[in-house]
A and B are shown apart, each in its own frame.
Chain A
């Protein structure tokens, strides 16, 4: 992908169509399939992560510029922190709290 965009922005159009398709797929899996809640949640999670990756790479050009690698490291660091905060909170306040009784 060249830094200077010229001609028709195919990567944007493909990213847009993919994000719409992934949204509809998520709705379909959530509402119209008979998988267990556990499986549905995992599928939805994977679809959401795909959409975030599309935004980061096709729309935000995260790797572009001289500091591209710093951007990626910064994003990975933030995502790890986010996962620790979310799953850590759920873990402490469900299993941790329950074992007090």
Chain B
């Protein structure tokens, strides 16, 4: 990889190290979520005569959530693509679309939680619901944090334009956003689909 093809966000030693450091953080996040998945798999059959997964999961809603998050991962990829072409307007628009999709996902997840509580599945109902709400809630909290974080970065972008610093921050935020999509794929597969089939 020659220097003239290096993207802007890698052009200072500091931002290179920031990106590397963020990848190491994502490694720690993988381990964090693996402990929550482990708790869920150990506890998922302990429903304590409360509802089980197939009683409360709604495939249609979960699929919509999945498509929203997959699309937002795609649009944040388009945002970084625009950024690397020095297209500030494209970067801003695609990031705003990403944030709106993220907010839509959160709206659906909050409705989902309200639905579960109405079905008699609160975080205190059983080992299954405690592990479920903890896993989903941790992911949802990450999405919430991501929306706030990227919103603040967009304010910086509008004020300062695409610089080595702002581009590296937005690139790191896009890595975070893609990572949340990866976590969701595993939640969708091993919590919802597995819960509805088995």
Contact = CB atoms under 8 A, between A and B. Distances in A.
Does A pair with B? yes
Interface of A: 2-6, 9, 12-13, 15-16, 19-20, 23, 26-27, 30-31, 37, 40-41, 44-45, 47-48, 51-52, 55-56, 58-60, 62, 64-67, 70-71, 74-75, 77-79, 81-83, 85-86, 88-90, 93-94
A48 B185 contact: yes
Contacts of A59: 73-74, 76-77, 178, 181
Contacts of B78: 9, 12
Interface in B1-59: 1, 5-7, 10, 16, 19-20, 23-24, 26-28, 30-31, 33-35, 37-39, 41-42, 59
Nearest to A81: B31
B193 interface: yes
B194 interface: yes
A23 B70 contact: yes
Given A12-B74, A47-B189, A89-B39, A78 B20 contact: no
B16 A48 contact: no
28 contacts: A3-B5, A15-B77, A16-B74, A19-B70, A23-B185, A23-B188, A26-B193, A27-B193, A37-B197, A48-B186, A52-B182, A52-B186, A59-B74, A59-B76, A60-B175, A60-B179, A65-B20, A66-B16, A70-B20, A71-B20, A77-B27, A78-B28, A78-B31, A82-B37, A85-B38, A89-B38, A93-B42, A94-B42
A90 B74 contact: no
Contacts of B198: 37, 41
The 4 closest A-B pairs by CB, nearest first: A82-B34, A78-B27, A89-B38, A16-B74
B84 A67 contact: no
Contacts of B89: none
B85 A67 contact: no
Nearest to A79: B30
Contacts of A66: 1, 10, 16
Per DSSP, chain B at the interface is: helix
B81 interface: yes
A60 B182 CA distance: 11
A51 B59 CA distance: 19
A34 to B, nearest CB: 11
A31 B57 CA distance: 13
